[in-house]
Structure 1
Amino acid sequence: MNIFTEAARLEEENRPFAIAQIIDSRGSTPRHSAQMLIRPDGTIAGTIGGGMVERKVIEESLLALEERKPRLFHGRMARNGSDAVGSDCGGAMSVFISVHGLRPRLVLIGAGHVNQAIAKNAALLGFDIAVADIYRDSLKADAFPPATQLLHADTFAQAVDALAIRPDNFVLIATNNQDREALDKLVEQPVAWLGLLASRRKVQVFLRELRGKGVSEASIRRLHAPVGYDIGAETPEEIAISVLAEILQIKNRAPGGLMMAADHPSRHQRVVIRGAGDIASGVALRLFHAGFKVFMVEVEQPTVIRRSVAFAQAMFDGEMCVEGVTARRAADVAEAIALSERGIIPLLADPHCALLEQLKPGCVVDAILAKQNLGTHMDMAAVTIALGPGFYAGKDCHAVVETNRGHWLGQVIYSGCAQENTGVPGNIMGHTSLRVIRAPVAGVFRAAVKLGDLVAQGDVIAWVGESEIKAPLAGMVRGLLSDGLTVVSGFKIGDIDPRGENADFTSVSDKARAIGGGVLEALMMLMHQGVKSTRDVLEVA
């Protein structure tokens, strides 16, 4: 079999294969110049001479295919020593192994105008494209690039099954009125990226229904919806650019953002945030989108209740996504820095900030909200900012940000303290303390409902030990402690939002955004003033 003919066939079918080519040989070797094609099942076309060296090259080629990266193999025709392949010929051979037929696959569920525009642009980007629809008239070949796989099925569930979707595929659902059927089939299926083209309101309804069916939070967090970048897109062609920009960001593991912002000082500055609850996460989002390299440190088992908008959940699940930004638990500083370079917020178990010496941040933000200072001081970084009461700006830190709701929420204080804690939760539809649920006794917490569930007054929502916890009012479960945590009497374990289905538990609160804005203002001001030669200290290679 001609290996080039076979390579062309496999490339056309986007089926992976490797090409092994001898680039150097010395002494007695089976061949001095040859090429061999290796398929994923280990079968070959052509030969580089057979024997033990060929077996070793096949093994190396399969590893290269698995890693999707080329590699260089060195082998000596000897039984012992480095690079020995287990033969007695006495020569040596170097083989370059390249991988092919690995075009990324984009699966489009629905063949409407938007997916037609996406397919045309994705083909220019080198994607292998498959499109499925239940309407045969929508699958006209001239509406899609050549070589697009067009699949007609009676239902979208059948279409998903027939497409043989793999974990490395990118999948977009855009069917107008039957998205839910496809989403049910795909939401728990491992894929490289799963997007849903839908309104924010429709997404909220779907997420609530998925949780009601018992779909795990880990699976739900993998869904990108609403999909795309906010570029004011309206036409199918504009929407295609918006969606493909997000797909390329995920595919290329890029942080996103404007290229013109690359030289902004913030892009080279590390900020360590103490705490990763919902307010801390709102601060992290503000700083992350402003270009700072955000690192977060937490306790091993954080007791946050607004878990759907708290990066702290990554301490339990390994990864957490809030408003399209991903945080991932890191085992050490080296892994944390690597994650940050890929546009992922690292989360480290380091409640006492023992890792600051290694991280060398330009700024530390105390966002624990403990109403007291748990060890934060001005010498932690060139800029130290704290949230709420318990700190004195000018002594404990360089700035304090007001956290009390009202006219001064988010105010930056450069000398003095924030307002004292009122102990009264924010007012929602006339409810303050009533909507916050506290443990009546000490014990282990177990939930009876999930975040986003709608409950009636008196419904059992959890247990602490053997004690039932009932909803104090009707509404949406917006906050809930993680199962298995031990709490003391009076500990905050949940939060009911009386707005019910109109509440949004998937995005950070207005309070978190306001406080985050205050932190960003303080950081930029202090950088400008050059606290402790900030501009020099903050720059991290």
Structure 2
Amino acid sequence: MSRFIHNWDGKTPYVLVTIIRVSGHAAAKPGDKAIVTSGGDIIGSIGGGCLRGAVVKAARMAIETGEPQFIRTVPKDKIDEVPEEEDIKTYPSACPSRGEVEVFLEPVKPKPVLVVFGETELAHTLVAFGRALGFKAVHGLSETDGGSAGTESFDLDSLSGESNLKADYIVVATQGVKDKITLEASLKSSCPHVFFVASVKKANFWRERLGEAGMTDREMLKLISPAGLHIRAESPAEIALSILAQIVQIKNEKQEQSVESNGGTSERK
């Protein structure tokens, strides 16, 4: 386990598994820990093979939803006797030992990546606030950074100064300095949400210009502008707050939809 954690790439999610309680005879012992990788491999000790299927299935759910999972396994012939509980899923077990095991699974996921472009007070405030909220907030390169921001075209990797960067959210707060080239790179990236700090008039202007430049409808749908929730924000800090509130809202709605699509009831087979 320690070797896996030490060599973790910081990008691929995994699940930390802990045996909470054991009733009757079972190979698992309270306090036993293991890691379940995104590929379903188990690293560590959680007892015999009877528990593995349920743990891997619950681990995949934890990774997909981003939510911890609390499960238990009971003998198949006792499954109907176990009372349903909202916060715990019950899986049948065919173990000859007939033990019952409760397991807690905690997903370890990389921080959502927020890339902010612009050499403004607002841009720097967004990075600071973003990091405080648990994002991996990256400040994009400026013209004076010696990167590719001064060229006619570039990709998101060169613009942000990080290789293989996959942004979850981008905020373009360039405020008139290389708006077009930054918007084009952001919208052509794999990032699904691109926030542009601009007035309604300016946002519409750039929508027209980007459309004329060949930006596809699918790429244009990523653009969110004016950026931020309408809270009558005035100062750079208030505007940053409104934008991050909108980003958090989108992030949490996606997680909620993922949970609902997978159901929230106990699995009883």
Cα gap change, 1:79 to 1:42, in 2 (>3 Å): farther
For residues 143-154 of structure 1, what are the structure 2 equivalents within 5 Å?
A: 153-154=147-148
Q: Structure 1, residues 449-489: CA drift from partner, whole Å, max 9, x if none?
A: xxxxxxxxxxxxxxxxxxxxxxxxxxxxxxxxxxxxxxxxx
CA distance in 2 between counterparts of 1:118 and 1:198 reads 15
Question: Match of 1:506?
Answer: none
For residues 521-536 of structure 1, what are the structure 2 equivalents within 5 Å?
A: none
Question: Match of 2:69?
Answer: 71
Q: CA deviation at 1:24?
A: 2.1
Q: Is the 8 A contact 1:17 1:101 kept in 2?
A: yes
Question: Match of 1:38?
Answer: 36
Question: Match of 2:179?
Answer: 179
Question: Match of 1:211?
Answer: 211
Are residues 1:6 and 2:5 paired? yes
Question: Match of 2:261?
Answer: none
Partner of residue 25 from structure 1, selected from 1, 22, 25:
22
Partner of residue 94 from structure 1, selected from 102, 113, 126:
102
CA distance in 2 between counterparts of 1:100 and 1:250 reads 20
Q: Is the 8 A contact 1:111 1:131 kept in 2?
A: no
CA distance in 1 between counterparts of 2:183 and 2:206 reads 9
Cα gap change, 1:111 to 1:35, in 2 (>3 Å): farther
Cα gap change, 1:86 to 1:107, in 2 (>3 Å): farther
Q: CA deviation at 1:195?
A: 0.1
Q: Is the 8 A contact 2:66 2:109 kept in 1?
A: no
Residue 201 of structure 2 aligns to a residue whose secondary structure is helix
Are residues 1:124 and 2:121 paired? no
CA distance in 2 between counterparts of 1:206 and 1:40 reads 40
For residues 401-412 of structure 1, what are the structure 2 equivalents within 5 Å?
A: none
Q: Is the 8 A contact 1:160 1:182 kept in 2?
A: no
Alignment RMSD, CA only?
Answer: 3.5
Residue 148 of structure 2 aligns to a residue whose secondary structure is coil
For residues 209-288 of structure 1, what are the structure 2 equivalents within 5 Å?
A: 209-217=209-217, 219-230=219-230, 233=233, 235-253=235-253
Q: CA deviation at 1:95?
A: 1.1
Identical-residue share of aligned pairs (%) = 23
CA distance in 1 between counterparts of 2:164 and 2:237 reads 25
For residues 69-468 of structure 1, what are the structure 2 equivalents within 5 Å?
A: 69-76=67-74, 83-135=91-143, 137=145, 153-155=147-149, 157-160=154-157, 162-166=163-167, 169-175=168-174, 176-187=176-187, 189=189, 191=191, 193-217=193-217, 219-230=219-230, 233=233, 235-253=235-253
Q: Is the 8 A contact 1:78 1:88 kept in 2?
A: no
Question: Match of 2:52?
Answer: 54
Q: Structure 1, residues 168-208: CA drift from partner, whole Å, max 9, x if none?
A: x1211223422222322332555453201234333222211
CA distance in 1 between counterparts of 2:48 and 2:118 reads 49
Q: Is the 8 A contact 2:67 2:107 kept in 1?
A: yes
Q: Is the 8 A contact 1:160 1:185 kept in 2?
A: no
Question: Match of 2:88?
Answer: none
Q: Is the 8 A contact 1:187 1:219 kept in 2?
A: yes
Q: Which has the higher helix share?
A: 2
Cα gap change, 1:135 to 1:30, in 2 (>3 Å): farther
AA aligned to 1:180 is: K
TM-score, normalising length from structure 1? Answer: 0.38
Question: Match of 1:145?
Answer: none
AA aligned to 1:99 is: P
CA distance in 1 between counterparts of 2:109 and 2:184 reads 31
Higher relative CO (Cα under 8 Å, sequence separation at least 6) belongs to: 2
Question: Match of 1:456?
Answer: none
Q: CA deviation at 1:133?
A: 0.9
CA distance in 2 between counterparts of 1:110 and 1:50 reads 54
CA distance in 1 between counterparts of 2:237 and 2:210 reads 30
Residue 92 of structure 2 aligns to a residue whose secondary structure is coil
CA distance in 2 between counterparts of 1:79 and 1:170 reads 49
AA aligned to 1:105 is: V
Q: Is the 8 A contact 1:132 1:153 kept in 2?
A: no
For structure 2, which runs of at least 5 residues remain unmatched after alignment? 81-90, 255-269
